[in-house]
Protein backbone atom coordinates (compact mmCIF):
# COMPACT_ATOMS: atom_id res chain seq x y z
CA UNK A 1 0.00 0.00 0.00
CA UNK A 2 1.35 3.41 -0.96
CA UNK A 3 1.19 5.18 2.37
CA UNK A 4 3.40 8.01 3.53
CA UNK A 5 6.36 7.58 5.85
CA UNK A 6 6.35 8.97 9.40
CA UNK A 7 2.80 7.78 10.18
CA UNK A 8 0.93 9.32 13.11
CA UNK A 9 -1.54 7.69 15.47
CA UNK A 10 -5.15 7.32 14.41
CA UNK A 11 -7.75 9.61 15.96
CA UNK A 12 -9.19 9.06 19.39
CA UNK A 13 -12.93 8.49 19.14
CA UNK A 14 -13.22 8.66 22.93
CA UNK A 15 -12.29 12.35 23.08
CA UNK A 16 -14.91 14.52 24.78
CA UNK A 17 -13.76 17.76 23.15
CA UNK A 18 -16.38 19.23 20.86
CA UNK A 19 -15.82 21.63 17.95
CA UNK A 20 -16.66 25.14 19.13
CA UNK A 21 -19.30 27.17 17.28
CA UNK A 22 -18.37 30.25 15.27
CA UNK A 23 -20.37 32.51 17.58
CA UNK A 24 -18.71 31.13 20.71
CA UNK A 25 -15.33 31.35 18.98
CA UNK A 26 -15.59 35.11 18.50
CA UNK A 27 -16.96 35.60 22.02
CA UNK A 28 -13.84 34.02 23.52
CA UNK A 29 -11.77 36.83 25.01
CA UNK A 30 -8.55 35.04 24.07
CA UNK A 31 -9.32 35.47 20.38
CA UNK A 32 -7.69 38.65 19.17
CA UNK A 33 -9.24 40.99 16.62
CA UNK A 34 -6.29 40.26 14.35
CA UNK A 35 -7.12 36.55 14.37
CA UNK A 36 -10.80 37.23 13.71
CA UNK A 37 -9.80 39.50 10.84
CA UNK A 38 -7.63 36.74 9.41
CA UNK A 39 -10.52 34.32 9.45
CA UNK A 40 -12.81 36.85 7.81
CA UNK A 41 -10.30 37.73 5.11
CA UNK A 42 -9.77 34.07 4.25
CA UNK A 43 -13.49 33.60 3.69
CA UNK A 44 -13.96 30.97 6.35
CA UNK A 45 -16.84 32.70 8.14
CA UNK A 46 -18.94 33.68 5.12
CA UNK A 47 -22.65 32.89 5.59
CA UNK A 48 -23.29 31.31 2.20
CA UNK A 49 -20.27 30.12 0.25
CA UNK A 50 -19.59 28.20 -2.91
CA UNK A 51 -18.35 25.25 -0.88
CA UNK A 52 -21.60 25.11 1.10
CA UNK A 53 -23.53 25.05 -2.17
CA UNK A 54 -21.19 22.29 -3.27
CA UNK A 55 -22.15 20.18 -0.26
CA UNK A 56 -25.84 20.75 -0.89
CA UNK A 57 -25.19 19.23 -4.31
CA UNK A 58 -23.26 16.16 -3.21
CA UNK A 59 -25.39 15.14 -0.20
CA UNK A 60 -27.85 13.25 -2.40
CA UNK A 61 -28.55 9.64 -3.33
CA UNK A 62 -27.50 8.42 0.12
CA UNK A 63 -23.93 9.53 -0.57
CA UNK A 64 -23.16 11.45 2.59
CA UNK A 65 -19.88 10.84 4.40
CA UNK A 66 -21.78 9.83 7.52
CA UNK A 67 -19.24 7.18 8.58
CA UNK A 68 -17.13 10.07 9.87
CA UNK A 69 -18.37 11.40 13.20
CA UNK A 70 -20.07 14.79 13.09
CA UNK A 71 -17.68 15.92 15.82
CA UNK A 72 -14.56 14.79 13.98
CA UNK A 73 -12.73 16.94 11.41
CA UNK A 74 -10.80 14.66 9.09
CA UNK A 75 -8.05 16.45 7.13
CA UNK A 76 -5.81 13.54 6.18
CA UNK A 77 -6.98 12.26 2.78
CA UNK A 78 -3.35 12.24 1.67
CA UNK A 79 -2.83 9.17 3.86
CA UNK A 80 -6.23 7.48 3.65
CA UNK A 81 -9.62 8.67 2.47
CA UNK A 82 -12.99 7.80 3.91
CA UNK A 83 -15.95 6.47 1.87
CA UNK A 84 -19.39 7.94 1.18
CA UNK A 85 -22.37 5.85 2.24
CA UNK A 86 -23.24 4.86 -1.35
CA UNK A 87 -19.75 3.35 -1.84
CA UNK A 88 -19.94 1.47 1.46
CA UNK A 89 -23.36 0.08 0.53
CA UNK A 90 -22.16 -0.98 -2.93
CA UNK A 91 -19.19 -2.79 -1.40
CA UNK A 92 -21.42 -4.61 1.09
CA UNK A 93 -23.82 -5.73 -1.64
CA UNK A 94 -20.91 -6.93 -3.77
CA UNK A 95 -19.53 -9.02 -0.91
CA UNK A 96 -22.91 -10.72 -0.47
CA UNK A 97 -23.23 -11.42 -4.19
CA UNK A 98 -19.72 -12.88 -4.35
CA UNK A 99 -20.29 -15.05 -1.28
CA UNK A 100 -23.49 -16.46 -2.81
CA UNK A 101 -21.78 -17.53 -6.06
CA UNK A 102 -17.98 -17.39 -5.66
CA UNK A 103 -16.88 -19.52 -8.63
CA UNK A 104 -18.97 -17.79 -11.26
CA UNK A 105 -18.19 -14.41 -9.73
CA UNK A 106 -14.48 -15.02 -10.22
CA UNK A 107 -14.57 -16.88 -13.54
CA UNK A 108 -17.25 -15.22 -15.63
CA UNK A 109 -19.12 -12.37 -13.93
CA UNK A 110 -18.86 -9.23 -16.07
CA UNK A 111 -18.43 -6.99 -13.00
CA UNK A 112 -16.44 -9.20 -10.61
CA UNK A 113 -14.56 -11.48 -13.01
CA UNK A 114 -10.79 -11.72 -13.05
CA UNK A 115 -10.41 -9.97 -16.43
CA UNK A 116 -12.25 -6.84 -15.23
CA UNK A 117 -13.17 -5.85 -18.78
CA UNK A 118 -16.32 -3.99 -17.74
CA UNK A 119 -14.81 -2.04 -14.85
CA UNK A 120 -11.68 -1.19 -16.82
CA UNK A 121 -13.85 0.17 -19.62
CA UNK A 122 -15.85 2.30 -17.19
CA UNK A 123 -12.70 3.72 -15.56
CA UNK A 124 -11.20 4.45 -18.99
CA UNK A 125 -14.30 6.40 -19.98
CA UNK A 126 -13.82 8.80 -17.10
CA UNK A 127 -10.38 9.76 -18.44
CA UNK A 128 -11.13 9.62 -22.14
CA UNK A 129 -8.80 6.70 -22.85
CA UNK A 130 -9.25 3.10 -24.07
CA UNK A 131 -10.07 0.17 -21.81
CA UNK A 132 -6.79 -1.47 -22.75
CA UNK A 133 -4.88 1.52 -21.42
CA UNK A 134 -6.16 0.72 -17.91
CA UNK A 135 -5.16 -1.96 -15.41
CA UNK A 136 -6.89 -1.92 -12.01
CA UNK A 137 -4.42 -2.41 -9.16
CA UNK A 138 -4.41 -2.70 -5.39
CA UNK A 139 -2.64 0.65 -4.91
CA UNK A 140 -0.12 3.06 -6.40
CA UNK A 141 2.82 0.98 -5.24
CA UNK A 142 1.62 -2.02 -7.25
CA UNK A 143 1.17 0.10 -10.37
CA UNK A 144 4.64 1.61 -10.08
CA UNK A 145 6.21 -1.80 -9.44
CA UNK A 146 4.44 -3.26 -12.49
CA UNK A 147 5.85 -0.39 -14.54
CA UNK A 148 9.42 -0.18 -13.23
CA UNK A 149 10.00 -3.93 -12.94
CA UNK A 150 8.40 -4.55 -16.33
CA UNK A 151 10.64 -2.23 -18.37
CA UNK A 152 13.61 -4.01 -19.96
CA UNK A 153 16.32 -1.95 -18.27
CA UNK A 154 19.93 -2.56 -19.35
CA UNK A 155 23.18 -1.91 -17.54
CA UNK A 156 24.04 1.82 -17.44
CA UNK A 157 20.55 2.96 -18.48
CA UNK A 158 19.90 6.32 -16.84
CA UNK A 159 16.83 6.92 -14.67
CA UNK A 160 16.09 10.41 -13.37
CA UNK A 161 14.24 11.09 -10.11
CA UNK A 162 13.96 13.94 -7.59
CA UNK A 163 15.08 13.90 -3.98
CA UNK A 164 11.44 13.98 -2.82
CA UNK A 165 10.23 10.68 -4.33
CA UNK A 166 8.25 8.16 -2.32
CA UNK A 167 9.58 4.68 -1.59
CA UNK A 168 7.07 3.32 -4.10
CA UNK A 169 9.43 4.68 -6.77
CA UNK A 170 12.70 4.28 -4.90
CA UNK A 171 12.31 0.64 -3.89
CA UNK A 172 11.82 -0.95 -7.34
CA UNK A 173 14.49 1.32 -8.83
CA UNK A 174 16.97 0.29 -6.17
CA UNK A 175 16.14 -3.33 -6.95
CA UNK A 176 16.74 -2.76 -10.66
CA UNK A 177 19.98 -0.93 -9.88
CA UNK A 178 21.25 -3.91 -7.91
CA UNK A 179 20.16 -6.42 -10.56
CA UNK A 180 21.06 -4.62 -13.76
CA UNK A 181 23.37 -1.72 -12.90
CA UNK A 182 21.13 1.16 -13.95
CA UNK A 183 22.25 4.68 -13.05
CA UNK A 184 19.87 6.55 -10.78
CA UNK A 185 20.33 10.32 -11.13
CA UNK A 186 18.78 12.30 -8.30
CA UNK A 187 17.89 15.95 -8.87
CA UNK A 188 17.32 18.13 -5.79
CA UNK A 189 14.33 20.39 -5.28
CA UNK A 190 15.19 24.02 -4.55
CA UNK A 191 15.06 25.19 -0.95
CA UNK A 192 11.68 26.09 0.49
CA UNK A 193 12.49 29.79 0.20
CA UNK A 194 13.54 29.59 -3.47
CA UNK A 195 10.52 27.47 -4.33
CA UNK A 196 8.16 30.23 -3.18
CA UNK A 197 9.27 32.52 -6.02
CA UNK A 198 9.03 29.95 -8.85
CA UNK A 199 6.34 29.07 -11.37
CA UNK A 200 5.76 25.61 -12.87
CA UNK A 201 8.08 26.02 -15.86
CA UNK A 202 10.88 27.45 -13.72
CA UNK A 203 10.63 24.60 -11.23
CA UNK A 204 10.72 21.89 -13.89
CA UNK A 205 13.65 23.60 -15.61
CA UNK A 206 15.43 23.77 -12.25
CA UNK A 207 14.80 20.10 -11.53
CA UNK A 208 15.54 18.79 -15.01
CA UNK A 209 17.73 21.23 -16.93
CA UNK A 210 18.68 20.60 -20.54
CA UNK A 211 22.14 19.25 -19.79
CA UNK A 212 24.00 16.30 -21.28
CA UNK A 213 23.95 14.38 -18.00
CA UNK A 214 20.15 14.06 -18.18
CA UNK A 215 19.71 13.56 -21.91
CA UNK A 216 18.78 10.20 -23.44
CA UNK A 217 17.69 8.70 -20.12
CA UNK A 218 15.58 5.57 -20.12
CA UNK A 219 13.00 6.99 -17.70
CA UNK A 220 11.97 10.10 -15.80
CA UNK A 221 10.18 9.03 -12.58
CA UNK A 222 8.39 11.76 -10.63
CA UNK A 223 5.34 12.46 -8.51
CA UNK A 224 2.39 14.41 -9.84
CA UNK A 225 1.78 15.91 -6.38
CA UNK A 226 4.49 15.56 -3.75
CA UNK A 227 3.29 14.22 -0.39
CA UNK A 228 6.21 15.97 1.31
CA UNK A 229 5.49 19.56 0.24
CA UNK A 230 2.21 19.56 -1.70
CA UNK A 231 4.00 20.77 -4.85
CA UNK A 232 2.25 19.86 -8.10
CA UNK A 233 4.18 19.29 -11.34
CA UNK A 234 2.32 19.96 -14.57
CA UNK A 235 1.99 16.77 -16.62
CA UNK A 236 1.93 18.81 -19.82
CA UNK A 237 5.22 20.50 -18.96
CA UNK A 238 6.74 17.20 -17.80
CA UNK A 239 5.87 15.67 -21.17
CA UNK A 240 7.51 18.59 -22.94
CA UNK A 241 10.62 18.27 -20.78
CA UNK A 242 10.87 14.50 -21.31
CA UNK A 243 10.69 15.06 -25.06
CA UNK A 244 13.33 17.82 -24.93
CA UNK A 245 15.70 15.48 -23.08
CA UNK A 246 14.87 12.54 -25.36
CA UNK A 247 13.72 10.38 -22.45
CA UNK A 248 12.02 7.10 -23.34
CA UNK A 249 9.44 6.87 -20.55
CA UNK A 250 7.68 9.39 -18.31
CA UNK A 251 6.52 7.44 -15.23
CA UNK A 252 4.36 9.29 -12.72
CA UNK A 253 3.34 8.54 -9.14
CA UNK A 254 -0.24 9.82 -8.93
CA UNK A 255 -1.04 8.68 -5.39
CA UNK A 256 -1.82 12.25 -4.32
CA UNK A 257 -3.74 13.38 -7.40
CA UNK A 258 -6.36 10.80 -8.43
CA UNK A 259 -9.58 12.21 -6.98
CA UNK A 260 -8.01 15.61 -6.30
CA UNK A 261 -7.17 16.90 -9.79
CA UNK A 262 -8.96 16.76 -13.12
CA UNK A 263 -6.90 14.06 -14.85
CA UNK A 264 -9.07 14.39 -17.95
CA UNK A 265 -8.21 18.09 -18.29
CA UNK A 266 -5.83 19.48 -20.87
CA UNK A 267 -2.83 20.30 -18.67
CA UNK A 268 -3.09 17.33 -16.29
CA UNK A 269 -4.34 14.59 -18.62
CA UNK A 270 -2.88 11.18 -17.85
CA UNK A 271 -2.15 10.63 -21.55
CA UNK A 272 0.85 12.98 -21.18
CA UNK A 273 2.49 10.07 -19.32
CA UNK A 274 3.75 6.70 -20.52
CA UNK A 275 2.81 5.12 -17.18
CA UNK A 276 0.63 6.71 -14.50
CA UNK A 277 -0.19 4.93 -11.23
CA UNK A 278 -2.83 6.20 -8.81
CA UNK A 279 -4.75 5.25 -5.68
CA UNK A 280 -8.51 4.81 -5.34
CA UNK A 281 -8.45 4.87 -1.55
CA UNK A 282 -7.05 8.35 -0.90
CA UNK A 283 -8.56 11.47 -2.51
CA UNK A 284 -11.08 9.46 -4.53
CA UNK A 285 -12.43 7.96 -1.28
CA UNK A 286 -12.90 4.47 -2.66
CA UNK A 287 -12.29 1.26 -0.70
CA UNK A 288 -8.83 0.25 0.56
CA UNK A 289 -6.92 -1.95 -1.85
CA UNK A 290 -7.93 -0.11 -5.03
CA UNK A 291 -5.96 1.85 -7.60
CA UNK A 292 -5.19 2.08 -11.30
CA UNK A 293 -2.30 1.96 -13.72
CA UNK A 294 -2.50 3.83 -17.03
CA UNK A 295 -0.29 2.47 -19.85
CA UNK A 296 -0.10 4.80 -22.84
CA UNK A 297 1.01 2.16 -25.35
CA UNK A 298 -1.65 -0.51 -25.05
CA UNK A 299 0.27 -2.73 -27.49
CA UNK A 300 3.54 -2.66 -25.54
CA UNK A 301 5.03 -6.14 -25.04
CA UNK A 302 8.28 -8.08 -24.58
CA UNK A 303 11.15 -7.51 -25.07
CA UNK A 304 10.33 -3.84 -24.42
CA UNK A 305 8.09 -4.58 -21.45
CA UNK A 306 7.33 -7.74 -19.48
CA UNK A 307 4.07 -8.48 -17.59
CA UNK A 308 5.41 -8.75 -14.03
CA UNK A 309 2.93 -10.24 -11.56
CA UNK A 310 0.75 -11.63 -14.32
CA UNK A 311 -0.58 -15.09 -15.15
CA UNK A 312 -0.51 -14.30 -18.86
CA UNK A 313 3.18 -14.34 -19.81
CA UNK A 314 2.46 -17.29 -22.13
CA UNK A 315 0.49 -14.90 -24.35
CA UNK A 316 3.81 -13.36 -25.36
CA UNK A 317 5.93 -16.49 -25.77
CA UNK A 318 7.30 -17.11 -29.28
CA UNK A 319 6.35 -13.59 -30.36
CA UNK A 320 8.48 -10.66 -31.38
CA UNK A 321 8.51 -7.50 -33.45
CA UNK A 322 7.78 -9.46 -36.62
CA UNK A 323 5.02 -11.51 -35.01
CA UNK A 324 3.57 -9.45 -32.16
CA UNK A 325 0.95 -10.73 -29.78
CA UNK A 326 -2.47 -9.11 -29.96
CA UNK A 327 -3.08 -9.57 -26.23
CA UNK A 328 -3.18 -6.14 -24.51
CA UNK A 329 -0.59 -5.62 -21.79
CA UNK A 330 -3.06 -4.00 -19.37
CA UNK A 331 -5.27 -7.08 -19.61
CA UNK A 332 -2.29 -9.35 -19.06
CA UNK A 333 -1.40 -7.44 -15.90
CA UNK A 334 -5.03 -7.60 -14.76
CA UNK A 335 -5.18 -11.40 -14.64
CA UNK A 336 -3.15 -12.21 -11.53
CA UNK A 337 -5.31 -14.50 -9.43
CA UNK A 338 -8.06 -13.31 -7.11
CA UNK A 339 -7.58 -9.59 -6.53
CA UNK A 340 -9.86 -7.01 -4.94
CA UNK A 341 -12.45 -7.15 -7.72
CA UNK A 342 -15.26 -6.22 -5.32
CA UNK A 343 -13.36 -3.09 -4.36
CA UNK A 344 -12.82 -2.16 -8.01
CA UNK A 345 -16.57 -2.13 -8.58
CA UNK A 346 -17.08 0.01 -5.47
CA UNK A 347 -14.28 2.33 -6.69
CA UNK A 348 -16.43 2.85 -9.77
CA UNK A 349 -19.12 3.98 -7.36
CA UNK A 350 -16.70 6.60 -6.04
CA UNK A 351 -16.06 7.78 -9.61
CA UNK A 352 -19.80 7.99 -10.30
CA UNK A 353 -20.14 9.97 -7.08
CA UNK A 354 -17.62 12.44 -8.49
CA UNK A 355 -19.77 12.77 -11.60
CA UNK A 356 -22.89 13.37 -9.51
CA UNK A 357 -20.97 16.06 -7.64
CA UNK A 358 -20.22 17.99 -10.81
CA UNK A 359 -17.22 16.09 -12.18
CA UNK A 360 -13.50 16.29 -11.56
CA UNK A 361 -13.34 20.00 -12.44
CA UNK A 362 -15.84 20.83 -9.71
CA UNK A 363 -14.11 18.55 -7.21
CA UNK A 364 -10.71 20.08 -8.00
CA UNK A 365 -12.07 23.61 -7.67
CA UNK A 366 -13.60 22.84 -4.27
CA UNK A 367 -10.51 21.08 -2.90
CA UNK A 368 -8.12 23.80 -4.08
CA UNK A 369 -10.34 26.57 -2.77
CA UNK A 370 -10.34 25.06 0.72
CA UNK A 371 -6.62 24.42 0.49
CA UNK A 372 -6.02 28.04 -0.53
CA UNK A 373 -7.84 29.15 2.61
CA UNK A 374 -5.62 26.99 4.78
CA UNK A 375 -2.50 28.34 3.07
CA UNK A 376 -3.70 31.93 3.41
CA UNK A 377 -4.45 31.39 7.10
CA UNK A 378 -0.96 30.00 7.77
CA UNK A 379 0.79 32.62 5.64
CA UNK A 380 -0.99 35.55 7.28
CA UNK A 381 -0.14 34.32 10.76
CA UNK A 382 3.35 32.87 10.21
CA UNK A 383 4.64 33.44 6.65
CA UNK A 384 8.00 31.74 7.25
CA UNK A 385 6.32 28.53 8.36
CA UNK A 386 4.49 27.87 5.07
CA UNK A 387 6.25 25.30 2.87
CA UNK A 388 3.67 24.59 0.15
CA UNK A 389 3.45 27.02 -2.79
CA UNK A 390 0.77 29.63 -2.23
CA UNK A 391 1.01 32.25 -5.00
CA UNK A 392 1.54 30.16 -8.15
CA UNK A 393 -1.77 28.35 -8.78
CA UNK A 394 -0.30 25.75 -11.15
CA UNK A 395 2.03 24.50 -8.40
CA UNK A 396 -0.65 24.17 -5.74
CA UNK A 397 -2.62 21.12 -4.62
CA UNK A 398 -5.02 20.03 -1.90
CA UNK A 399 -2.06 19.46 0.43
CA UNK A 400 -0.87 22.27 2.68
CA UNK A 401 2.45 21.67 4.43
CA UNK A 402 3.83 24.03 7.08
CA UNK A 403 6.18 24.05 10.04
CA UNK A 404 4.86 24.17 13.57
CA UNK A 405 5.33 27.64 15.02
CA UNK A 406 4.75 29.60 18.20
CA UNK A 407 1.44 31.43 17.86
CA UNK A 408 2.56 34.43 19.94
CA UNK A 409 6.01 34.52 18.34
CA UNK A 410 5.37 33.30 14.77
CA UNK A 411 8.99 33.77 13.69
CA UNK A 412 9.83 30.85 16.00
CA UNK A 413 9.33 27.80 13.79
CA UNK A 414 10.02 24.17 14.66
CA UNK A 415 11.43 21.64 12.21
CA UNK A 416 12.00 18.74 14.59
CA UNK A 417 10.02 15.51 14.69
CA UNK A 418 9.09 15.65 18.37
CA UNK A 419 7.38 19.06 18.27
CA UNK A 420 5.62 18.30 15.01
CA UNK A 421 4.17 15.03 16.24
CA UNK A 422 3.15 16.68 19.52
CA UNK A 423 1.05 19.20 17.58
CA UNK A 424 -0.65 16.38 15.67
CA UNK A 425 -1.40 14.54 18.92
CA UNK A 426 -2.78 17.68 20.59
CA UNK A 427 -5.03 18.42 17.61
CA UNK A 428 -6.48 14.92 17.95
CA UNK A 429 -7.63 15.90 21.41
CA UNK A 430 -9.69 18.58 19.65
CA UNK A 431 -11.04 15.90 17.27
CA UNK A 432 -9.01 17.25 14.35
CA UNK A 433 -6.90 14.82 12.28
CA UNK A 434 -3.92 16.05 10.27
CA UNK A 435 -0.48 14.41 10.08
CA UNK A 436 3.25 14.98 10.31
CA UNK A 437 5.56 14.52 7.33
CA UNK A 438 9.33 14.41 6.91
CA UNK A 439 11.16 15.76 3.87
CA UNK A 440 14.59 16.70 2.56
CA UNK A 441 15.28 20.45 2.68
CA UNK A 442 18.77 21.28 1.37
CA UNK A 443 20.19 18.00 2.64
CA UNK A 444 18.56 18.17 6.07
CA UNK A 445 15.53 16.18 7.19
CA UNK A 446 12.82 18.55 8.34
CA UNK A 447 9.45 17.67 9.82
CA UNK A 448 6.27 19.59 9.16
CA UNK A 449 2.48 19.47 9.49
CA UNK A 450 0.31 18.45 6.55
CA UNK A 451 -3.35 19.27 5.99
CA UNK A 452 -5.38 17.53 3.26
CA UNK A 453 -8.63 19.27 2.29
CA UNK A 454 -10.81 16.58 0.74
CA UNK A 455 -14.00 17.07 -1.22
CA UNK A 456 -16.15 16.19 1.80
CA UNK A 457 -14.56 18.95 3.89
CA UNK A 458 -16.35 22.25 4.45
CA UNK A 459 -15.86 25.81 5.69
CA UNK A 460 -16.98 24.68 9.14
CA UNK A 461 -14.22 22.05 9.18
CA UNK A 462 -11.63 24.72 8.45
CA UNK A 463 -13.06 26.96 11.15
CA UNK A 464 -12.72 24.16 13.71
CA UNK A 465 -9.20 23.32 12.51
CA UNK A 466 -8.02 26.93 12.69
CA UNK A 467 -9.35 27.49 16.18
CA UNK A 468 -7.87 24.19 17.39
CA UNK A 469 -4.50 24.95 15.77
CA UNK A 470 -4.35 28.36 17.43
CA UNK A 471 -5.17 26.77 20.77
CA UNK A 472 -2.41 24.16 20.38
CA UNK A 473 0.27 26.52 19.04
CA UNK A 474 -0.28 28.96 21.90
CA UNK A 475 1.03 26.24 24.23
CA UNK A 476 4.22 25.16 22.47
- Helix, strand or coil, per DSSP, at residue 147: helix
User: Do 315 and 423 fall into the same domain?
Assistant: no
User: Do 146 and 168 fall into the same domain?
Assistant: yes
Summarize the chain as % helix, strand, coil (round to 5): 40, 15, 45
User: Do 75 and 162 fall into the same domain?
Assistant: no
Question: Which residues are 138's β-sheet partners?
Answer: none
Asked whether residue 467 is domain-assigned, the answer is yes
User: Do 327 and 350 fall into the same domain?
Assistant: yes
Question: Per-residue pLDDT tens for 311-349?
Answer: 999 999 887 777 788 999 999 999 999 999 999 999 999
Question: Which residues are 432's β-sheet partners?
Answer: 73
Q: Which CATH number goes with the domain that contains 424?
A: 3.90.1150.10
For the residues of 50-99, what is the DSSP string, one character each?
A: HHHHHHHHHS-TT---TTS-TT-EE--TTT-----HHHHHHHHHHHHHHH
Domain boundary among the residues 323, 355, 387 is at 355
Asked whether residue 312 is domain-assigned, the answer is yes
User: Do 370 and 350 fall into the same domain?
Assistant: no
User: Do 144 and 172 fall into the same domain?
Assistant: yes
Asked whether residue 11 is domain-assigned, the answer is no
- Domain housing 463: 22-81+360-473
pLDDT at residue 116, rounded to an integer:
94
pLDDT at residue 85, rounded to an integer:
93
Domain boundary among the residues 355, 389, 417 is at 355
Q: Which residues of the chain have pLDDT under 50?
A: 1-50, 54, 57-58
pLDDT at residue 321, rounded to an integer:
72
User: Do 347 and 418 fall into the same domain?
Assistant: no
Asked whether residue 16 is domain-assigned, the answer is no
pLDDT at residue 48, rounded to an integer:
39
Give the C-alpha distances (Å, rounded to integers) separating 362 from 80, 265, 419.
21, 12, 36
pLDDT at residue 6, rounded to an integer:
35
pLDDT at residue 53, rounded to an integer:
52
Number of domains in the chain: 2
Per-residue burial over 51-62, b = 16 or more CB atoms within 10 Å of its CB, e = otherwise: beebbeebbeee
pLDDT at residue 56, rounded to an integer:
52
pTM score, two decimals?
A: 0.88
Q: Which CATH number goes with the domain that contains 265?
A: 3.40.640.10
User: Do 73 and 112 fall into the same domain?
Assistant: no
Max Cα–Cα distance, the chain, nearest Å: 80
Q: How far apart are CA 206 and CA 194, in angstroms?
A: 11
pLDDT at residue 61, rounded to an integer:
58
The count of residues in the chain is: 476
User: Do 351 and 364 fall into the same domain?
Assistant: no
User: Do 230 and 309 fall into the same domain?
Assistant: yes
Domain boundary among the residues 326, 355, 384 is at 355
User: In 136-225, which residue ranges form alpha helices assigned H by DSSP?
Assistant: 140-150, 167-180, 192-195, 200-207
User: Do 62 and 117 fall into the same domain?
Assistant: no
User: Do 188 and 290 fall into the same domain?
Assistant: yes
Kind and range of the H or E run holding 220: strand 219-223
User: The dihedral of CA 243, 245, 249, 251: what is its sign?
Assistant: negative
Amino acid sequence: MHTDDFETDTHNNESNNQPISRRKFFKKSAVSSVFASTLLSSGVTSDVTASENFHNLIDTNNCQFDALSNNFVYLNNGTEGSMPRCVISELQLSIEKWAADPTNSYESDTVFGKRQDSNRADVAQFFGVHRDNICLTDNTTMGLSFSLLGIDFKANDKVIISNQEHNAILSPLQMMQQRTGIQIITQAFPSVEKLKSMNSAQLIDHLFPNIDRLKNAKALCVSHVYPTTGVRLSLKLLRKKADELNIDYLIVDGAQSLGMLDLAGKNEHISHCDFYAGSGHKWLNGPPGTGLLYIKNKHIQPPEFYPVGSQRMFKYLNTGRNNPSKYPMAKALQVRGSSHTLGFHAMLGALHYVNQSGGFKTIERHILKLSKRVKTFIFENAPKSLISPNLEATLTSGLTVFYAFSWDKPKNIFTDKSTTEKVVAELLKHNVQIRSIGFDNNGQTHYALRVSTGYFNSDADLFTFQYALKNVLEKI
